[in-house]
Structure 1
């Protein structure tokens, strides 16, 4: 799951609009060390974190740089969806089976919202492919926006003249307003953020930012979280395949340092199916059934829900995946790190 958004062309133009006068201002900030020009690091960072987030429908459209607008029509895993007013049904269909190959065929024309908040009509698959390719290129070139850091509004932007004398202020109340303000800065505009401001990272942590330097530090932390989120998504997909392709047994179940996996589990296998069901067998006889699911944030989680046999319902938990290979999966209770479960492939 990528959480990047495309920087619009007008924003990119601003990067190269440096003048000799602005170079002098960058070196001498005057009385306010947070004064910035349109091409400054702070300006470009704020553009990146204030763009429209198109990642909510990534499973459907394959692009975090845009979102499909309602109503839309598509064929998802062979199921025809007409004039849909939400992504819910499409996402449900895509999630019905684990370890399958999902197919989405979009019906054109359709309308999408871009990272710069503009809405455009896409008339063909080739046009849409070009948009997706531009998004990928922006990500690869380090021009992708940051959606793992959110600013708490309202904030105030202070404006200055070329002598760095304050000339006014603007109250910003939304991301879209902030993005529009930043991309409309001219080569002779100077601004600063009125600190402190509060930011929230994708892992739920909040911080009070008191300077451009601190904002840069929080952005670095946000990008680190994004990398962990992306890695967790990849690991989740790998583990889903391992679960479905293999047959497992309980190797260890530790509670508060005490091994609790009795001999009861020695001859019993655990099978995970691709329709999110789990069962335990002994000599081809089913001894326990249930369901499972997998989620991720910066870590990967396996949820187990056995509905019969108390020897297995004790495993009903949300398990954090500590490590996994094709042969061994080590789990730890999300709510109690003293509870651990190890599954080994037979």
Structure 2
């Protein structure tokens, strides 16, 4: 009986061993995989992988203003009253062109609902109203929670393994694009164990490829890539059309007119009409305001992945600001700061100062009276009229009383004022004519500029 029980015991042990071996065949050990290369679905490494494989919705921010949402093609919008069907990314440039047609306007864009959108995790949702779209967009507006990593991409295919708590393989999957990788992570339970079949290739924003051989190297590469490029998640849809170098070259190539200027949404163009700005390669800048020339400095740089232009003048404070460059177009540069401050510069490459012969200057000055056009507000010069007839100078106040007198001469484009001894005594000397028109004369002595204009009333 004892022998029978003993045999039965060993038989049971043998059967258990066979059974255990059969269970073991359900799992497969993966060569080269250890505890350090296995991660959980909710780990920081997995989060970086999901951020890198998320759907980037920044390409259509001109429409929806949200980088974590992409509107599925096709859809229809109405832009400043013009209806457009958007079938591809290229069609978004049509919207940009319409916005750029008029410099000073309020651009209006309406989406024709319903539309279908794709979220960062590639989930598709049908949106029926503008209000619902705004609710979803609010979570990833500029400066919000849009934290995808766009400066580096995975090179597919990628093989992934799933494991049980004993680090034994329970599954294998090959993913061929971002959406498949993102959805793979979405269906995992939080504590699921996974591993990547290394080596893995990554492509950076500049086209270079790097290879990683471990989770640690992968994390390091993805973390570094976060701030290596402009993800263009803002709504400045023109800011990818130029570089700092292009701006620098354009600024010094020609002088620029101030076509429009607003400070705190106040239109100030009346103070800057026909004002000419000249940027110099040494970082200095001059602005010519009704004849007076004011000097300052300029500097361009990259800030927050944008091109910024800093202007500093001692006497023209309305230009003093660190401006962001919004757009460079044909013959125009647009600057902005905080929405309420804007400048539009227009190229003055064709600007040429007019010249006159000495005889033409004599004939021009001999007719009518003249006033000082660039006198500062409140200056005594604003009340004076000048009479240059017969090569003499008679200076009169508003009561027609002569308050100074002298004479003048001209030779080779240089005016000389003589014998002034009262209110204009400081203006005696040689003045070089730098711009001559029949009704306007701009003359310069050292750094001082005097502009006089004809007044025939």
TM-score band, normalised by shorter chain: 0.5 to 0.7
Q: Deviations over 1:29-85 (max 9, x none)?
A: x82412011111111111111122212211122111112223322222x13224432
Q: In the alignment, what sits opposite 2:316?
A: none
1:31 alignment partner in structure 2: 34
1:176-255 alignment runs, 5 A limit = 176-226=179-229, 247-249=276-278, 251-252=280-281
* Structure 1 residue 188, shift from structure 2 partner: 4.7
Question: Relative to structure 1, is the Cα distance of residues 160 and 52 closer, same or farther in structure 2, using a 3 angstrom cutoff?
Answer: same
The superposition leaves residues 73-112 of structure 1 with CA deviations (integer Å, 9 ceiling, x where unpaired) of 2222x13224432334223323445676533222222222
Equivalent residues of 2:154, 2:202 under 8 A apart: yes
Contact 2:54 2:122 in 1 (8 A): yes
Partner Cα separation in structure 1 for residue 191 and residue 279 of structure 2 = 67
Q: Which residue of 1 aligns with 2:51?
A: 48
Alignment CA distance shift 1:200-1:244 (3 Å): farther
1:120 and 2:138 are equivalent in the alignment:
no
Contact residue 247 and residue 272 of structure 1 kept, 8 A: no
Alignment-derived partner of residue 104 in structure 1 = 109
Count of aligned positions: 237
Residues 243, 176 of structure 1: CA spacing in aligned structure 2 closer, same or farther, 3 A cutoff? farther
CA contact (8 A) 2:259 2:345 kept: no
Alignment of 1:252-267 (within 5 A): 252=281
Deviation track 1:251-272 (CA, whole Å, cap 9, x = no partner) reads 239xxxxxxxxxxxxx9xxx73
Among 119, 130, 133, which residue is 2:135 paired with? 130
List aligned pairs for 1:308-319, cutoff 5 A: none
Rounded to whole Å, the distance in 1 between the matches of 2:72 and 2:183 is: 21
CA distance in 1, matches of 2:113, 2:230: 33
More displaced stretch, 153-162 vs 82-91 = 82-91
Contact 2:258 2:346 in 1 (8 A): no
Tell me the secondary structure at the aligned position of residue 179 of structure 1. Answer: helix
| Cα distance change on mapping 1:186 and 1:94 into 2, 3 Å | same
Question: Relative to structure 1, is the Cα distance of residues 59 and 247 closer, same or farther in structure 2, using a 3 angstrom cutoff?
Answer: farther
Following TM superposition, the consecutive aligned residue runs of length 4 or more in structure 1 with deviations greater than 6 angstroms are 237-240, 273-277
Q: Secondary structure at the match of 1:171?
A: strand
Q: Which has the higher contact order (CA 8 A, sep 6+)?
A: 1
CA contact (8 A) 2:160 2:195 kept: yes
Go from structure 1 to structure 2 and tell me whether the alpha carbon gap of 1:130 and 1:187 turns closer, same or farther (over 3 Å shift).
closer
In structure 1, what is the Cα distance between the partners aligned to 2:169 and 2:191?
Answer: 14
For structure 1, list consecutive stretches of 5 or more residues without a partner in the other structure.
1-29, 254-266, 286-346
Measured in 2, the distance between the counterparts of 1:73 and 1:121 equals: 15
CA RMSD of aligned residues (A): 3.8
**Pick from 254, 272, 279: which aligns with 2:332?**
272
Q: Identify the residue that residue 353 of structure 2 maps to in structure 1.
A: 283
Which region of structure 1 is more displaced relative to structure 2, 78-87 or 187-196?
78-87
State the alpha-carbon separation in 2 of the partners of residues 243 and 194 from structure 1.
Answer: 60
Tell me the SS of whatever aligns to 2:149: coil
Determine the structure 1 residue equivalent to 2:159: 156
Over 3 Å counting, the alpha-carbon distance change for 1:154 and 1:276 in structure 2 is: farther
Contact 1:99 1:244 (C-alpha < 8 Å) held by counterparts: no
Q: Partners in 2 of 1:251 and 1:211 — Cα distance?
A: 52
Contact 2:57–2:70 at 8 Å: present in 1 too? yes
* CA distance in structure 1 between the aligned counterparts of 2:109 and 2:150, rounded to whole angstroms: 25
In the alignment, the residues of structure 2 paired with residue 119 and residue 52 of structure 1 have an alpha-carbon distance, to the nearest angstrom, of 11
Secondary structure of the residue aligned to 2:162 is strand
**CA deviation digits over 1:294-335, x for unaligned, max 9?**
xxxxxxxxxxxxxxxxxxxxxxxxxxxxxxxxxxxxxxxxxx
Matches of 2:259 and 2:45 in 1, distance apart? Answer: 47
Which consecutive unaligned segments of at least 5 residues does structure 2 have? 1-32, 252-256, 261-274, 283-292, 294-330, 335-343, 356-457
- Separation in structure 2 between the aligned mates of residue 244 and residue 216 of structure 1, nearest angstrom: 50
Asked if the contact 1:112/1:120 (under 8 Å) is kept, the reply is yes
Residues 284 and 196 (structure 1), Cα distance of their counterparts in 2 relative to 1, 3 Å cut: farther
